Amino acid sequence: MLTLIYPYRNRNLARVKRSLDSLKSQSEQSFKVAFVDYGSRPELASEIKKLLDTYGFATYTYHPVQHQPWNKCKALNSVIKTLEGGYCFVADVDMIFHPDFIARAKSMQHPEKAVYFKVGFLSEVESAKNLPYSEYKIKFESDEGATGLTLMPVDAAKKLRGFDEFYHFWGSEDTDMHVRLKYSGIPVSFYSEEILLLHQHHVIYRNKEDKALTEELRVSNIVRINHRHLQTGIAEGRSTVNPQAWGMIPSREDMEQLAHAEVEVISNAADEVDEFLYARLPQLKKGVHAFKFVQKKNKGAKQLIKQSLGKHNIPAIDMKQLNDRILLHLIAFHRNVPYSFVVDTKEPSIELRIKC
């Protein structure tokens, strides 16, 4: 069986419908879609589920992680680890499929090979249209460097323990998988004889990488960090990843328990933050914990006089830098436990809840 895996969060229904409608008209109908909603807003998730219920080939799964950063790898792995053999294709809600895509993909299936596909990119105006596949006007085409949209044997992906879940937000996870497949003896080829996939226009993630604190979770420089991790893996010849666990998603019950912990307030003073990250967080007792990081209050007259007299002044960490440091800590060391991370830009504050 061929399973198309759609990782998804907070994208508009129109583009999802165009993608699924293109599968509805496939010449070969022997496939299924595993649609993984990785923490969309509840109201949008409800609408998406209703849409998915109208397609007999699709199943919808919601993961209650809307207060965790986007992790395409975990979304994909949560499906891959449940599949019993066969083949999987890393899909995308932005894709419109050629009517013969499934038939072509099935002809390329091989237990010891993987393949990814050339894509035709549509303009913003063209993307808003509902046309037969052949009538869309392509703006430009992808090359071998665009490594997503891969067809691979499920057993090969399982052997490598799926996609590397260090990769959060955007960048390098698909190339990383290709490299590791090759290291494990599975060649990866680029199919460019014809364009079987069209990409609907959207704003590129890296163009949205905020330098200021935002309620939508972001980490500055994450694209470069991910690329560096990829380069390290290539240098080391890394094939298997996720040594502790892979494809683990917190349950709704676990996430609901996070709300019941009493909040401890911590300032953004550098010594408080460092003591928390390097001493307390790694040794939290079993249970549910909550911490709220707030900006230090402005100095009063007494503190300003002491500072002018040369008294010791404790430095504070910028709230955006604090956001990045805590999130990177969670990504690196705590990504397999239930947690929530909520930013309030008005106060400003950062609230971390975690279950150990």
Q: How many angstroms separate the CA atoms of 120 and 142, rounded?
A: 7
- Look at residue 77 in the predicted model and tell me its pLDDT: 98
Q: How many angstroms separate the CA atoms of 289 and 353, rounded?
A: 6
Say which residues have a Cβ less than 8 Å from residue 151's Cβ, sequence separation at least 6.
Answer: 2, 87, 88, 89, 105, 108, 109, 114, 115, 116, 117
- Look at residue 311 in the predicted model and tell me its pLDDT: 53
Q: How far is CA 327 from the centre of its chain?
A: 14
Q: What CATH homologous superfamily does 2-236 map to?
A: Spore Coat Polysaccharide Biosynthesis Protein SpsA; Chain A (3.90.550.10)
**Identical fold at 2-236 and 252-355?**
no
> Does residue 49 sit in helix, strand or coil?
helix
Quick one: fold of 252-355? Translation Initiation Factor IF3 (3.30.110)
Structure-block tokens of residue 266: 């911590």
**Radius of gyration for the alpha carbons in the chain, expressed in angstroms and rounded:** 23
DSSP code at position 278: I
Q: pLDDT tens for residues 38-78?
A: 999 999 999 999 999 999 999 999 999 999 999 999 999 99
Q: How many angstroms separate the CA atoms of 277 and 317, rounded?
A: 13
Residue 207, judged by CB atoms within 10 A of its CB (0-12, 13-18, 19+), counts as exposed
Q: pLDDT tens for residues 236-275?
A: 999 999 999 999 999 999 999 999 999 999 999 999 999 9
Residues of the chain with pLDDT under 70: 205-209, 298-312
- Look at residue 304 in the predicted model and tell me its pLDDT: 46
Residue extents of the structural domains in the chain: 2-236, 252-355
DSSP code at position 77: H
Decide if 350 contacts 292 (C-beta within 8 A): yes
- In sequence order, what E strands does the chain have? 2-8, 32-38, 58-63, 87-90, 95-97, 114-117, 119-121, 140-141, 150-153, 188-191, 197-199, 263-267, 288-294, 339-344, 349-355
Decide if 95 contacts 120 (C-beta within 8 A): no
- Look at residue 314 in the predicted model and tell me its pLDDT: 77
- Look at residue 297 in the predicted model and tell me its pLDDT: 75
